Chain A
């Protein structure tokens, strides 16, 4: 069964510190992996999209890594800011095999990050 597991479920860090969020998946065949940031009460906003051949991608203070062999990804946030407080959702996309496959985007439940002053 295609699944995306994220850890930790929640995380509290002090402003200025770094943190790393984890995503493990069992989606096959793999197409791409996305990280989204979702502020409370808002829609998810894309941070990165990574394909099989990419093992790292940065977007400002956010750096995502992908190990397609172990089926793991991480999102590293550097020098955290109060505005980084949000849920971070890992989404894995499967290659379309047949129709009726739930749109082929499998969402994790997210990691809720709180950055404290």
Chain B
């Protein structure tokens, strides 16, 4: 089973700042990584898949990069509505599909 480790656990930034979230895989998953955003009481929302492809309707301030075992989600200029928990998920070797533990983004 591929383990995904996200860091940091919490990120506290001001509106307009840049957020950089990390996801590391226990073995290579090529480019088979997605990012989801989850707000309290809601289902997750797909943001990015295959490392860097934005899902339908996702603003351009969200971008992804990386390959192999190290991946990054960048929010170029934080908006208040970006306050959420962000999860990475791999499909490089499945089943099982696995998620990271999440990074909580707080807007000051």
Do A and B interact?
Answer: no
